[in-house]
Amino acid sequence: MLKWKKADIADLPGIRQIARQFGAKASDLSAANLFLLRDRYDIHIAFADGFLVRRYAANPSVPERQSYTFPLGAGDPETVLKALEEEARKRHQELHFCLLLEEQKEWLARHMPQARFTLDEGDSDYIYSAAHLAKLPGRLNHKKKNHVSKFRRTFPGFKTVPLRRGTAPLAGEVAERWLREHQDTPNRALTTERKSIRQALDLWDELELEGMVIMDGNEPAAMIVASQISDGVYDIHFEKSYGKYAEFGGFAAINQIFSEYLLTGKNAIWINREEDLGSPGLRKAKLSYHPDLILKKYSATIP
């Protein structure tokens, strides 16, 4: 019998350890994300036989996310999968999985040939080499490099401030100004994001976050917040700029400068800029950086 619970701070080291062992690149396997999004997606976790498994419970605001995830860990997952089958049977439900990676989909296809799969493009992660985002090489990145140059020319006296617990409120200032720019369009996602950002800044050390703010004099102009998923792999949780700073390249500047910091200061190899959630605007923005890898994710139904 699996013992389900919502992730708390004490669970994060165990989640990180399994993600490192797996060499995880997926944003949904970020320990910080599992904590910060636990209420939005009603995520419960269980540890069993050295595996981590998640359950996305019934949530009226996200009805498509009512599934289990494939057990993550070393060894044969069959025992844990049987426990999930038994649990679904007792609930008189079909067995559903979400956020399946290619190799997990293939495992299910071999062992459960009755499984039906769907590619969930909105859940697929956009992943870039750290060197790519830090250096913006070649003709394809010419526009992004121009945006960074425009910011540097327009605000020549800017400086960067690494985020720590003491400086984290600066990121909150940027986020609030960005959110105020969008307040005329009521959006449940913005309310949820505000809550997640505030929680992240309050639990900076506990969530083992990294980040940076660009300052124009006394004005915070852009911010970025990230965490490590596994060795050499970082996930971007929040990235904001606003007003004139956004107009003159603030998003491109914070992305490039922080990527350079991760590459040279943290030995980053991959940077995950997360999914587009099916939003055409987000998809266009993420594709504009020309991802090195789109990490496909699938859902499955086992009748």
Q: How many CB atoms are closer than 10 A to CB 206?
A: 15
Report how far apart, in Å, the C-alpha atoms of 245 and of each of 103, 143, 171, 210, 236 are.
42, 17, 14, 22, 20
- Residue 63's pLDDT is 54
The gap from C-alpha 94 to its chain's centroid, in whole angstroms, comes to: 28
- Residue 202 pLDDT class (50, 70, 90 cuts): very high
- Residue 191's pLDDT is 80
What would the pLDDT profile of 130-160 be if each residue is shown by its tens digit?
Answer: 999 999 999 999 999 999 999 999 999 999 9
Is the Cβ–Cβ distance between 229 and 29 less than 8 Å? yes
Q: Any long-range contacts for 197-202 (C-beta under 8 Å, 24+ apart)? A: 197/171, 197/172, 197/225, 197/238, 198/172, 199/36, 200/32, 200/36, 200/225, 200/237, 200/238, 201/168, 201/169, 201/171, 201/172
What would the pLDDT profile of 229-276 be if each residue is shown by its tens digit?
Answer: 999 999 999 999 999 999 999 999 999 999 999 999 999 999 999 999
- Residue 58's pLDDT is 60
- Residue 286 pLDDT class (50, 70, 90 cuts): very high
Supply the DSSP string of 128-141, one letter for each residue. Answer: EEHHHHHH--SGGG
Nearest to 62 by CA among 160, 229, 189: 189
Residue 153, exposed/middle/buried by CB under 10 A (0-12, 13-18, 19+)? exposed
- Residue 111's pLDDT is 94
What would the pLDDT profile of 97-129 be if each residue is shown by its tens digit?
Answer: 999 999 999 999 999 999 999 999 999 999 999
- Hey, what CATH class is 125-274 in? alpha beta
- Residue 192's pLDDT is 84
Is the Cβ–Cβ distance between 24 and 58 less than 8 Å? no
Mean pLDDT score of the chain, rounded to an integer? 94
Nearest to 290 by CA among 124, 135, 132: 132
Check residue 8 and report its DSSP letter: -
Both structure tokens of 166: 């003491």
Is the pLDDT at 172 greater than 90? The verdict is: yes
What would the pLDDT profile of 38-64 be if each residue is shown by its tens digit?
Answer: 998 999 999 998 999 999 986 555 555
The answer to whether domain 9-124 and domain 125-274 are alike in fold is yes
Report how far apart, in Å, the C-alpha atoms of 270 and of each of 7, 76, 180 are.
25, 28, 32
Percent of the chain topping pLDDT 70: 96
- Residue 24 pLDDT class (50, 70, 90 cuts): very high
Rounded CA-CA distance 67/80 in Å is 15
125-129 β-sheet, strand order: 159-162, 209-216, 219-230, 233-241, 270-272, 125-129, 293-295
CB contact set of 256 (below 8 Å; sequence gap of 6+): 133, 134, 136, 144, 148
CATH of domain 9-124: 3.40.630.30
Domains in the chain: boundaries: 9-124, 125-274
Please state at what angle helix 168-181 crosses helix 188-202, rounded to 10 degrees.
170
